[in-house]
Amino acid sequence: MNRLTLPNMVIVITLCGFLLVTSASWVVGNHYKDHFPPLLRQAVTELSNKLIVGALEHEIPYLRLESVDAEDPPLPFSLYLLQMFINVEPTNLLTVMESEIPGLSAFNPVKDPIIEEFIATESPAPLDVIKGQVEQTKEEMEAQATPPPRSVYLYNTHNTESWTFVTKDPNLNNAYDDKTNITLVSQKLAEELEKRGIQTKFDNVDIQKRLEDEGLSYPLSYAVSSKIVKEAMAKHNDISFVFDLHRDSSKKDASTMKINEKNYARVKFVIGQANPGWKENEKLANEFNRLLEERYPGITRPVDYKNSAKGNGEYNQSLSPNALLIEVGGPENTLEECYLTAEAIADVFADIYFKDDKKVDQPINDEERPM
């Protein structure tokens, strides 16, 4: 059984005296409170109920009240006295910091049940609202991370270019047809690009028919096709690549390559040096050539550079830095050989098209992870 020692009994009696004095002051009224010394009034004011009760129950455990959290162990009496004189809770680091850092006292994680009774606590938002906000934020982040759509625009300036197996004429210069022609290769390329997730717009406009209707000569084909491409790009601002497919005039031995026991129509890129920005178009042509050769050795021919003295010299390539003239095979190639080449072009272009996406989506190696 705990026994009161003489020093502790003196302290307890002193505290009880403070309580009696405080009670008497409250009963008599505010009229007499000014007669007490200021130091005494300050000391009594700073004594909290919990501090006094804790001091008493330190020697008389049976006085522990229900209003005090039974889970909190009583502090040593010396700490109570220290707290009273320095106005700092020795066991609460935050109060020590508050005494040295101005403004920190505005944050008080200690809950006072009396204060909480008079402070309204706002209910949390419903779960469905929170979920909707999270999903909306997720969609916004995905939209920001997703690059803008890019599509490929295919067309044929010389859309009647055909093959000798269609015309049944050995004269290569007569390999033209209104129905079975290079537009079929463009259609095949569009299908192969779509299979690989690349948005493609194939404009099967009959440019040669427009020339006839307008009474224009064959050399003005690019003037007509330029208007068509401009209209398409104005209507569809997602067009990022513009490919004009042609059939070359070379003979079979120069326009064909056997790869893995299959005959492919060879590919040649034409760059118009009359275009002031032809260097940008050349970069794409060279990358195309390199990747095609790596995967289909021998399928390409050297890039053909033409100025105004050798032809149109511009080939609508000033409309976009990603505009190319692509020649697929010659008049003696078969449609099957041209289709195989269309698949090869789509296969390689997918690597070019998705190159930037792979840089974003590729997993981070452990060595590259930030510390």
Q: Per the domain annotation, does 320 fall within a domain? A: yes
| pLDDT confidence bin for 366, thresholds 50/70/90 | very low
Residue 134 lies in a domain: no
With respect to residue 368, please indicate whether it lies within any of the assigned structural domains.
no
Question: Do 103 and 158 have their domain in common?
Answer: no
Q: How many CB atoms lie within 10 A of CB 227?
A: 13
Strand 239-246 relative to strand 323-328: parallel, antiparallel, unpaired? parallel
Sign of CA dihedral 23, 26, 29, 31: positive
> What are the φ/ψ torsions at residue 281 (nearest 5 degrees)?
-65, -35
Q: Structural domain of residue 153, as residue ranges?
A: 149-356
pLDDT of residue 199: 97
Same structural domain, 191 and 337: yes
pLDDT at 368 over 50: no
Q: What is the pLDDT of residues 2-24, one digit of tens each?
A: 555 555 665 666 666 666 655 55
Distance CA 293, CA 253 (A): 18
Sequence-distant (≥ 6) Cβ neighbours of residue 275 within 8 angstroms? 281, 313, 314, 315, 317, 318
Assess contact for 299 and 306: CB atoms under 8 A: no
Range with the lowest mean pLDDT among 20-24, 46-50, 191-195, 228-232?
Answer: 46-50
Which one, of 339, 338, 341, 322, lies nearest residue 330 by Cα? 338
| CA atoms of 143 and 276, how far apart (whole Å) | 35
Please say whether the beta carbons of 338 and 185 come within 8 A.
Answer: yes
Residue 140 lies inside a defined structural domain of this protein: no
How many domains are contained in the chain?
2
- Asked if 169 and 86 sit in the same domain, the reply is no
Q: Looking at residue 257, what is its pLDDT?
A: 98
> Who wins on pLDDT, 126 or 145?
126
Bridging pattern class, strands 239-246 and 151-155: parallel
Find the DSSP H helices in the chain: 6-28, 38-45, 49-59, 77-86, 93-98, 113-118, 127-145, 164-167, 183-195, 207-214, 221-235, 252-255, 278-295, 335-353, 355-361
Q: Indicate the DSSP class of residue 148.
A: P
- Mean pLDDT for the stretch of residues 268-284: 97
77 plus 165 within the same structural domain: no
- pLDDT by residue (tens digit) across 299-357? 999 999 999 888 889 999 999 999 999 999 999 999 999 999 999 999 999 999 998 66
Q: Which two tokens stand for residue 180?
A: 């079975």
Write out pLDDT tens, residues 146-195: 666 899 999 999 999 999 999 999 999 999 999 999 999 999 999 999 99
d(CA 181, CA 206): 11
Residue 239 · residue 153 · CB < 8 Å: yes
- Domain presence at residue 117: no
| Domain of residue 290, CATH code | 3.40.630.40
User: 84 lies in a domain?
Assistant: yes
Q: Which of 53, 79, 110 is the last residue of a domain?
A: 110
Task: Say whether both 205 and 299 belong to one domain.
Answer: yes
Shared-domain flag, residues 63 and 156 = no
Task: Based on the fold, state whether residues 349 and 240 are members of the same structural domain.
Answer: yes
Asked whether residue 335 is domain-assigned, the answer is: yes
Determine, yes or no, domain membership for 131. no
At 183, list the tokens.
Answer: 């537009």
